[in-house]
Amino acid sequence: MASVLVVEDDQFVRSALIRQLTAAAHTVRSVGTAPQALREVAHHRFDAVVLDLGAAGPDGAEVLRMLRGVTDVPVIVATDRADEAGIVRLLDEGADDYLVRPFSGEQLTARLAAVLRRARPRPRPEEAPQPDVIEVGGLRIDPRRRRARLDGEPLALTRREFDLLAFLARRPGVVVARGELLAEVWRQSYGDDQTIDVHLSWLRRKLGETAAAPRYLHTLRGVGVKLEPPP
């Protein structure tokens, strides 16, 4: 059983979501607008949020950023849009999963169960302490302050771009499988390779390289991705 906040402006749809989640033994609170949702997460502890983009207004990504400013609770976005660029943007801004309308109650409860599993702390084997700053060639990455520089110049990275770069930089020269990237960076056990490709493309552009002429990021077709310093 989980405590779930439903953000949905359509009363009929909201009632249906509450019935579906309650039938799955979850405790549900609901609101109709993004400001109400922000007040709820600031004053109550939830295990997950189901966010309808209609209730979020014209800029759902901005609402996600605001939610991420006050909580790390998993967020499932319900959207009418199925275009790849829009979905990638929502995931990059902080959504943990998404559902494209129309979706069934079974889909919602299955996705909710999946994000709750991923949100649980996972035991890890003993590891050597990570350095405060990671340096790979001209790259200098400070995970604690979430800052990155290339050849002394600051890099303007999104949340997901920084996570991807830092994860690869901790393993310089090691080929990381796409499945591992989805699990460790996106916290997803499944997903579309195009999501990774889009973020790699954006990251390459900011590193001043291309897939055809890589400097730091190297893709091994059918195997994975590695980051290593230029020769």
The pLDDT value given to residue 85: 75
CA distance linking residue 206 with residue 18, whole number of Å? 43
List the CATH code of the domain at 134-227. Answer: 1.10.10.10
pLDDT in tens, 188-230: 655 556 778 888 888 999 999 998 999 999 998 878 899 999 9
Q: What is the mean pLDDT of residues 170-180?
A: 89
CA distance linking residue 172 with residue 137, whole number of Å? 10
The pLDDT value given to residue 106: 87
Kindly tell me if the per-residue pLDDT of 8 is higher than 60: yes
The pLDDT value given to residue 125: 47
Q: Specify the range with the lowest mean pLDDT, choosing from 87-91, 151-155, 208-212.
A: 87-91
List the CATH code of the domain at 3-119. Answer: 3.40.50.2300
pLDDT in tens, 93-149: 778 888 888 888 888 998 888 888 876 655 444 444 556 799 999 999 998 888 999
Q: How big is the CA angle at 156 (ends 154 and 159), to the nearest 5 degrees?
A: 125
Q: Domain limits of the chain?
A: 3-119, 134-227
Please list, in sequence order, all residues whose beta carbon lies within 8 angstroms of the beta carbon of residue 41, skipping any fewer than 6 positions away: 5, 49, 67, 70, 71, 73
